[in-house]
Structure 1
Amino acid sequence: MQITQLRNATIVVAYDDCRILVDPMLADQGAIPPFKWLTGQRRRNPIVPLPAGTADHLAGITHALITHCRKGHVDHLDRAGTRWLRERDVPVLCMPGDADFLRRRGLDVQPLNAAGSTPFRNGIITPIPCRHGEGWIGRFMMHGYGYHIEQADAPSVYIAGDTVLTIDVRRCITERRPDVSVVPAGGASMDFGAELIMDDEQVLALAQLGSGVFIANHLEALDHCPVRRATLRQRAEQLGLSSRLQVPEDGEALTFTRA
């Protein structure tokens, strides 16, 4: 199994006969308005381009997987990503609550089971609830879901989605014990209110709970995500977690084999 970090939360999870595109934000650099306005220097999003070789990484995509997309979450499915999926008629796996929203955009929607696991390929996909921010700011967010993917011939993968560190996230790590966990680490926040996703401190605390490999993403691509890759790597080294916390660059592919 191979996981390629494209940009922000957009990754490709590749098996021998299946390539899953997760949360495609495929817009050009600067095509999306800022998320933070009360700053000295506003920056349009994404603040970086897609990496070189993106077309090659997207070649042969067989499915898409969406963690959340309503209420303006264009950093997980933007117009460019929607158009790319529609033009190629890619089957889109999502939660039932997002299905009508995606159908209205002309996508081939295949809703997953909200109450349990859904058969997929040689195994199952199980939804794990997210909490996209605490306090009053959380009431305005689309919380969405992460996914635990188990396959008979590959390591298990937990794609956390946009979430802070919650009981559900902790339980997934300690009880399901995924071999690989892809987690947001950017510490995103708006002009006011609490953080919307995990930051470096929460990601490191989560990695200390688990036994598998963690991949940090949602980094250095949006104007409201302040955590830097260098900071996360340095803190992981200080805690003795460098071998288990991977912080890939955009365009970098990581390969995992079943133990």
Structure 2
Amino acid sequence: MEIRLVRHATLIVRLDGKALLVDPMLSPPGAMPPIQNTPNDRRNPLVGLPELDLSPVDAVLVTHTHADHFDEAAAGELRKDLPVLCQPEDEEKISSHGFANVLPVKGSLDWEGIEVHRTGGRHGTGEIGALMAPVSGFVLRAPGEPTLYVAGDTVWCPEVEDALAEHAPDVVVVNAGAARFNEGDPITMTAGDVAEVARHAGGATVVAVHMEAINHCLLGRDELRSSLAEAEVSGRRVLIPADGEQTAF
């Protein structure tokens, strides 16, 4: 299995001979407005895309349809015959963009020999978390390949802990960045949340993404590395890739 971080939460996962594009945000820098009611007003995305060839993509996986995970550029540029795996709540919205093969994952399904399981999460706490819902994570499993858990936009919560225990993944992708509004707690993982995932993930490698590309993600890569080192969770257990970086597992 290979995972390439494109930017933010956008990944290309190569598994069992297939290439899956995860959470495509394809807009050029500054094409989208800033997230409102947040500590700064910079337009999004904050950084450009690395060199990207989408022609080998066999399917798309959308954890949820907030604009930083499925933007207008992606809706317009991606081939409409591509299978799009998603949570049931997003089937109608994705189909409305002309995609003809939308595959909602209610619990689990088999796609081209790859088992796809949907997991829960909490996109924040309290009223803000309720307003941000629904979100999902997904576990991908194929014979002879590491098991991958893409946790999606969630904080550390019982649903994530349960997914780790049930699926025993080999690789866990978490959305860090500690995204937040001017009120309330963070709505994606903080450094402490990433450390909790690492502690509960057994021997799995944790891959932290979702940083330095959207204006309300306030936790950067260097701060995360420093915090994990202080918590004695770093090195091989947590990878923090740069945009465009590819890792084989």
Q: TM-score band (shorter)?
A: over 0.9
Aligned to 2:153: 162
C-alpha distance in structure 1 between counterparts of 2:102 and 2:191, whole Å: 34
Please tell me whether the aligned partners of residues 143 and 163 of structure 1 are also in contact (alpha carbons under 8 angstroms): no
Aligned to 1:54: 52
Runs of 4+ in structure 1 deviating by more than 3 angstroms, as ranges, are 36-39
Question: Match of 1:31, as an amino acid?
Answer: A
Residue 213 (structure 2) pairs with residue 221 (structure 1): yes
Question: Match of 2:226, as an amino acid?
Answer: Q
Q: How does 1:73-88 map to 2 (within 5 A)?
A: 73-85=66-78, 87=79
> Which one of the candidate residues 55, 58, 61 is aligned to 1:65?
61
Please tell me whether the aligned partners of residues 80 and 99 of structure 2 are also in contact (alpha carbons under 8 angstroms): no
Which consecutive unaligned segments of at least 5 residues does structure 1 have? Answer: none
SS in 2 for 1:12: strand
The alignment's TM-score, normalised by the length of structure 1, stands at: 0.90
Task: Using the TM superposition, give the Cα deviation of residue 28 of structure 1 relative to its aligned residue in structure 2, in angstroms.
Answer: 0.5
C-alpha distance in structure 2 between counterparts of 1:38 and 1:179, whole Å: 35
Aligned to 1:249: 242
Which consecutive unaligned segments of at least 5 residues does structure 2 have? Answer: none
Task: Identify the range of structure 1 (176-185 vs 186-195) with the bigger mean alpha-carbon deviation.
Answer: 186-195
Aligned length, in residue pairs: 247
Residue 178 (structure 2) pairs with residue 182 (structure 1): no
C-alpha distance in structure 2 between counterparts of 1:240 and 1:248, whole Å: 16
| 1:14-60 C-alpha deviation (Å, 9 max, x unpaired) | 12521000010000001111114564x52001111112x223xx230
Task: Identify the range of structure 1 (187-196 vs 75-84) with the bigger mean alpha-carbon deviation.
Answer: 187-196
SS in 2 for 1:214: strand
C-alpha distance in structure 2 between counterparts of 1:38 and 1:140, whole Å: 16
C-alpha distance in structure 2 between counterparts of 1:22 and 1:31, whole Å: 20
C-alpha distance in structure 2 between counterparts of 1:112 and 1:100, whole Å: 10
C-alpha distance in structure 1 between counterparts of 2:80 and 2:236, whole Å: 38
Task: Using the TM superposition, give the Cα deviation of residue 190 of structure 1 relative to its aligned residue in structure 2, in angstroms.
Answer: 1.4
C-alpha RMSD of matched pairs (Å): 1.5
SS in 2 for 1:11: strand
